A and B are shown apart, each in its own frame.
Chain A
Amino acid sequence: MERQPYFEYASGYRQAEPVCTLAWLIWGLSAAVVTLLIRNPLYLAIIALASWFVYLAVGRGSSLAQSWGGLIKLGAVIWLFAVPFNALMLHQGEHVLFRLPLTWPLVGGAITLEAVLYGLTSGFALWVLLLVFSSFNVAVDASQLLRLLPPFLYQAGVVTSIALTFIPQMLVSAKEIREAQQVRGHRFRSWRDFLPLVVPLLTTGLERAIQLAESMESRGFGGQLTGLSPRQANGLRFAMLLGLALLLCGLFLRTYWASAPLVGTWVMIVAGLLLGYVFYLFGRGVRRSHYRRTRWSRADTLVALASAVVLGGVLFVRARERLALAYYPFPPYGFVPAFNPWIGSLLILLALPGFWGLWDQIRAEPMLTRPRKKDVL
């Protein structure tokens, strides 16, 4: 009897995915924005745990798993740097640990506990941000992500798509060229010796690009762009300029108008909405359809919903009570960060995709394995 192939459930991907890419994008955006808004180490710790859980549940089988560590290590390095930097530069606080002579240029003065704690939490915030991004990177597939690019960025999308398609074959070409030149007697010792590798690589790439261009043209690519008349196109551009100008104004207002900070924020929001609308209209002008093979499943709805709730909740808390998400060890506030169990449990929702991944692993048949890449030979 034919076993129901696993990938049928996960809407036909070459790699069985419990959650589709758009849902992942929503999750990633929500988690990133939330992390950027929060400085409270306890909440950040919850987010970190949620991301790590997602990685364990979903990302381990991915081919990018080894890159996961890279960003984390980078974050750790910056964190380790931030602590002494803050401690030495920031001479503010009550609990002095020790003093350096004031004559020393920048570091002279009191080295306080508050500064150390502040450095610790700032670095931690950055590290958690990188952790969130790492888990996101590992969970999504690059080319699927590219297909989510909005229509107004269509050109950039095609160029990047071609690049992603050509990177593997350029690597293969580079290896071929290196071997061929080596066997010809060329030794790759100094940097000058790489010329016989770079030039054929570029030439082969350009020659292939020409054939690709012929192939694209023969399939009707090009010239279908704007269904907009020149007047409409210019009108949209004016609107874009207006939006950008508003953005700049809003930024300055927000920064320099102390008495009414919200005005600037609202101007920026209006500018953002205007630009968004202009982008949408640009996209509408692109005469091109979009092939969709994905099926939006229940898992995707839940993940998207959960992510939206988390983001909405955090924005709400922020608007109501600024300091709930922040962390100030300096007087008159204390060392111990505040903790609200409601906010904490809200943040736990970020771990939902991980749950779904685990659930799928437990109950389903083995995942569709990725075919092994054939070597040049």
Chain B
Amino acid sequence: MITFEHVTYTYPGAQRPVLKDLNLEIADGEFVLVVGKSGAGKSTLLRCINGLVPHFYGGTISGTIRVQGLDPVRCQPRGMSTTVGFVFQDPEAQFVVDTVEAELAFAMENHALPQATMRKRIEEVLDQLSIAHLRDRRINTLSGGEKQRVAIASVLTLEPKILVLDEPTSQLDPQAAEEVLTALQKLNTDLGLTIVLSEHRLERVVQYADRIIYLPGEGQPPIEGAPQDVLPQLDLVPPLIKLGKALGWKPLPLTVKDARRKALELPLRPAPLTERCARSSDAPVEILVEDLWYAYDGHMALKGVHLEIRRGEFVAIMGRNGSGKTTLLKHLVGLLRPRRGAVQVHGMDTRRVPLEEIISVVGYVPQNPNALLFAETVREELAFTRRSHGLPLEGGEALLEPLGLADYAERYPRDLSVGERQRVSLAAILAAEPLIILLDEPTRGLDYAQKQALMRALRAEQSKGHTVILATHDVELVAASADRVIILGDGEVVVDGSVREVMTHSLIFSSQMNKLFRDDRYLTVEDVLGSLS
């Protein structure tokens, strides 16, 4: 049982409290989802449960918190570690030792448990999370999903009653996220662990939750209750919920299965197929990929890829992890040269033309914005790019406005939230005024509002006549913005067509609306609402 009574917390040096007079109660065995915009206080709330706030961060706290009868402020995280297990967002930064088994033993060694107990608990935990086959592996060779499961296992060895997770799947692809969430659900139903989870991508997890706690931010009181009750009160929700809200369905369906019956009863007027943007076949070919083969580390990453992308298209490249999306993007910007075949970008053959010339027309936004940002202010980041390209420094400022970063010009980029950093790195690349923009997984860790802002910016680029190519797992995003989808599988192009065709005929790469209606006229909520008679 977790109770918060009149809890107020202010970070050191902050003007306003993050949590103000918060009252909350979480019963044993519940699966609770904590949602809210970035900066609303989700992380702070979670860290109060095990005492990291205030002991790790300083600041001032008032009010009473009780977790299983213990006071985290008095017990400190060390004292709470056998009651509350905490898993963090970045799978790279939770491990002290390099092998799985030794890492599992770490927490227990801290508590000076005897050898026999450690052996027993390690065996149990390996089975609980189905990672017994990973026992002797080195952690840096594991995938993201496996790493997070090892992280969960390593806190479970102390047999806590409560598991708190701060956006554990935001850095993972959908498959890995699925693995982690199913494991959590199993822990909740089989072992009765209380699970408190914060997550942006509600569609992955909303069906498992018993309760949702929504933090509006700005110190306002939280809204909590069953998912069906809380979700209608939120602005930014998955498409299915949005549809349910708009149509007033009660009870609110959380999964496609729940919604199917109601969907079939909808009076939908068959509307003419509207292409979101007429694929003008007279636009010049910007990118031509012919029979591209590429291998690294003895592994054939791309096998005979053929592609033709015209100017002004918005293309999404999708596929499983390891199917070659990033490799393909790197070929398009000239970072990698084809082993066999050719890549022509804006009339330049990447095998012959030096990197400097290619990047004068192609901008590549990498997966991790932290790899780009190093300057003292946002303004300087833009200036750096412009200087490197030999462009005058003045033009860069204009970029900040459409991306919603006008107020951040003097801020230190690394202090900003994930979504803002993503937009700053986009601005830094756009500062060079490229004609072709490549983005690699730009939506990791972004909430719905930030994703929409990003998409607006990209559509603005497209309207200027630039070509946008996006490698992503985010199906809803693709459904809402892209014209064309290319699906890669094991290094080959499996499907290449308009977004409606591809999504309707695909089981996995399909938006929620599409899965619901199985009709290529309905990709987004707008499509459905627009077709109601």
CA distance A220 to B84 in the complex (A): 11
In the complex, A208 Cα to B460 Cα: how many Å?
35
Q: Interface stretch among A94-102, A163-171, A356-364?
A: A163-171
Of the listed stretches B16-24, B88-96, B342-350, B523-531, name the one at the interface; the rest are far from the partner chain: B88-96
Q: Known interface pairs A200-B373, A287-B112. Does A7 touch B136 (Cβ–Cβ under 8 Å)?
A: yes
Give the shortest distance, in Å, between B162 (CB) and chain A (any CB). 12
Q: Is A156 an interface residue (CB 8 A)?
A: no
Closest residue to A174 on the B side, CB-wise? B371
User: Binding site of A, secondary structure by majority: helix, strand, loop or mixed?
Assistant: helix
Residue on B nearest A208 in the bound complex, by CB: B93
B115 and A289 form a contact (CB under 8 A): yes
The reply to whether A184 and B388 form a contact with Cβ atoms under 8 Å apart is yes
* Cross-chain contact A14 with B138 (CB below 8 angstroms): yes
B98 to chain A, nearest CB (A): 5
B141 at the interface (CB under 8 A from A): yes
| Distance in angstroms between the alpha carbons of A196 and B383 in the assembled complex | 13
Q: A185–B388 contact, CB under 8 A? A: yes
With A220-B110, A291-B115, A371-B137 known to touch, is A377 a contact of B326 (CB < 8 Å)?
yes
Partner pick for B136 among A13, A207, A377, CB 8 A cutoff: A13
CA distance A176 to B370 in the complex (A): 10
User: For the complex, is B432 an interface residue (Cβ under 8 Å from A)?
Assistant: yes
Q: Which residues of A contact B324 (CB under 8 A)?
A: 377
Q: How far is the CA of A207 from the CA of B82 in the complex (A)?
A: 26
Interface flag for A181 (CB, 8 Å): yes
A158 and B103 CA atoms in complex are apart in Å by 12
Name the one of B99, B118, B355 contacting A14, with C-beta atoms under 8 angstroms: B99
Pick the residue among A176, A213, A288 that contacts B371 (CB under 8 A). Answer: A176
- Contact of B107 with A220 in the complex, beta carbons under 8 Å: yes
Question: CA–CA, A301 to B444, complex, Å?
Answer: 53
Q: Evaluate contact between B371 and A218: CB separation under 8 angstroms.
A: no
- Closest B residue by C-beta to A290: B109
B96-A165 in contact (CB<8A) = yes
For the side of the interface on A, what is the size category?
Answer: 35 or more
A143 on interface, CB distance cutoff 8 Å: yes
Whether B309 is near chain A, meaning CB under 8 Å from some CB there, is: no
B interface residues, tally (CB under 8 Å): 79
Nearest Cβ on chain B to A11's Cβ, whole angstroms: 11
| Chain A minimum-CB-distance residue to B140 | A168
B86 touches A (CB below 8 Å): yes
Do B109 and A289 touch (CB < 8 A)?
A: yes
CA of A164 to CA of B330, assembled, Å: 30
**Chain A residues positioned under 8 Å from B139 (CB to CB):** 165
Contacting residue for B90 out of A208, A287, A292, CB 8 A = A208
Please pick, from B88, B113, B359, B428, the residue contacting A289 in the complex, using a CB distance under 8 A.
Answer: B113
In the complex, the answer to whether B96 meets A216 with C-beta atoms within 8 Å is: yes
A222-238 vs B: 1/0 string, CB under 8 Å? Answer: 11100000000000000
How far is B151's CA from A200's CA once the two chains are assembled, in angstroms? 26
Tell me the B91-134 residues at the A interface (CB within 8 Å): 92-99, 101-102, 105-115, 118
Do residues B432 and A185 form an inter-chain contact, with CB atoms below 8 A?
Answer: yes
Judging by beta carbons under 8 Å apart, are A220 and B141 in contact?
no
Complex CA–CA separation, A200 to B85 (angstroms): 31
Instruction: Report whether B374 and A199 are in contact in the complex, using a CB–CB cutoff of 8 Å.
Output: yes
Please give, as numbers and ranges, the residues of chain A lying within 8 Å of B111 by CB-CB distance. Answer: 220, 224
B384: chain A residues at CB < 8 Å are: 184, 186, 196
B143 within 8 A of A: yes
- A158-194 to B contact mask, C-beta < 8 Å, 1/0: 1001101100110001001101111111110000000
Cβ of B396: which chain A residues have Cβ within 8 Å of it? Answer: none
Contact status B97-A161, CB under 8 Å: yes
The residues of A that contact B364 with a CB separation of less than 8 Å are: 180, 183
Contacts of A372 in B (CB 8 A): 141, 297
Is A373 an interface residue when CB atoms closer than 8 A count as contact? yes
With A14-B136, A292-B115 in contact, do A179 and B109 touch (Cβ < 8 Å)? Answer: no
In contact, A219 and B141 (Cβ under 8 angstroms): no
Which chain A residue has the least Cβ–Cβ distance from B326?
Answer: A377
CB-based contact B94/A377 at 8 Å: no
B52 touches A212 (CB 8 A): no
Please name all residues of chain A whose beta carbon is closer than 8 Å to the beta carbon of B137 when the two chains form the complex: 14, 371
Closest beta carbon of chain B to A61's beta carbon, Å: 16
- B368 in contact with A176 (CB, 8 Å): yes
Collect the chain B residues with CB atoms within 8 Å of residue A70's CB: none
Task: Please tell me if A203 contacts chain B, counting CB pairs below 8 Å.
Answer: yes
Shortest Cβ distance from A331 into chain B, in angstroms? 57
Asked if B88 and A211 make an inter-chain contact with CB atoms under 8 angstroms apart, the answer reads: yes
Determine whether A365 belongs to the interface, using a CB cutoff of 8 Å to chain B.
no
Q: Which residues of A contact B367 (CB under 8 A)?
A: 176
Q: Does B400 contact A (CB under 8 A)?
A: no
Residues in A whose Cβ lies below 8 Å from that of B82: 220
Known A185-B359, A220-B81: A169·B372 in contact at CB below 8 Å = no
Asked if A143 contacts B97 (CB within 8 A), the reply is yes
Please, how many angstroms separate the alpha-carbon atoms of A220 and B85 in the complex?
Answer: 10
Which of B50, B98, B373 lies in contact with A161, CB distance below 8 A? Answer: B98
* Contact A214–B96 (Cβ < 8 Å): no
Question: Is A147 on the interface with B (CB-CB < 8 A)?
Answer: yes
Contacts of A216 in B (CB 8 A): 96
Q: Do B81 and A218 touch across chains, with their CB atoms under 8 A apart?
A: yes
Closest to A287 in B: B112
- Chain B residue numbers with a CB within 8 Å of A322 are none
State whether the Cβ of A209 lies closer than 8 Å to any Cβ in chain B: yes
Residue of B nearest to A377 (CB): B326
Instruction: Judge if B301 is at the interface, Cβ distance under 8 Å.
Output: yes
Question: Which of B56, B84, B108, B432 sits near A214, CB closer than 8 Å?
Answer: B56
B70 within 8 A of A: no
Q: Please list 12 pairs of residues, one from A and one from B, whose beta carbons are closer than 8 Å in the complex, sorted by A's number.
A: A164-B98, A165-B98, A185-B359, A203-B414, A207-B370, A211-B89, A212-B96, A214-B56, A219-B158, A221-B110, A222-B78, A287-B112
Closest 4 CB pairs of A and B: A185-B388, A291-B105, A208-B93, A14-B136
Where the two chains meet, the residues of A that have a C-beta atom closer than 8 Å to any C-beta of B are: 7, 12-14, 143, 147, 158, 161-162, 164-165, 168-169, 173, 176-177, 179-187, 195-196, 199-200, 203-204, 207-209, 211-224, 287-293, 368, 371-377
Listed in ascending order, the chain B residues whose CB lies under 8 Å from chain A are 50, 52, 55-56, 77-78, 80-82, 84-86, 88-90, 92-99, 101-102, 105-115, 118, 136-141, 143, 151, 154-155, 158, 296-297, 301, 322, 324, 326-327, 330, 333, 335, 355-356, 359-360, 364, 366-368, 370-374, 384-385, 388-389, 414, 428-429, 432
Q: Could you list 14 further interchain pairs (A-B, Cβ under 8 angstroms) beyond the known A147-B102, A184-B428?
A: A13-B136, A185-B356, A199-B374, A207-B370, A207-B414, A212-B94, A217-B52, A218-B77, A218-B80, A218-B86, A220-B77, A224-B112, A292-B115, A371-B141
